[in-house]
Amino acid sequence: MSVRILALVGSVRAGSTNRQLAEAAVKLAPEGAEVVLYEGLAQLPFYNEDVDVEGSVPAEALRLREAAQGADAFLLFSPEYNGSIPAVLKNAIDWLSRPYGAGAFGGKPVAVVGTALGQYGGVWAQDEARKAVGIAGGKVLEDVKLSIPGSLNRFAETHPVDDAEVAGQLTEVVTRLHGHAAQGVAA
Residue 15 confidence (pLDDT) above 70: yes
What pLDDT shows up at residue 120?
86
For 19-30, how does the pLDDT look when each residue is reduced to its tens digit (9 = 90+)?
999 999 999 999
- Architecture of the domain made up of 3-186: 3-Layer(aba) Sandwich (3.40)
The three-state (H, E, C) secondary structure of the chain, written as one string: CCEEEEEEECCCCCCCHHHHHHHHHHHHCCCCEEEEECCCHHHCCCCCCCCCCCCCCCHHHHHHHHHHHCCCEEEEECCCECCECCHHHHHHHHHHCCCCCCCCCCCCEEEEEEECCCCCCCHHHHHHHHHHHHHCCCEEEEEEEEEECCHHHHCCCCCHHHCHHHHHHHHHHHHHHHHHHHHHHHC
pLDDT band for 1, please (50, 70, 90 cuts). Answer: low
State pLDDT tens for residues 166-183.
Answer: 999 999 999 999 999 998
Interval 102-153: pLDDT, tens: 899 999 999 999 999 989 899 999 999 999 999 999 999 999 999 999 998 8
Output the pLDDT for position 152: 86
In the chain, domain spans: 3-186
pLDDT digits (tens, 9 = 90+) for 75-107: 999 999 999 999 999 999 999 999 888 899 999
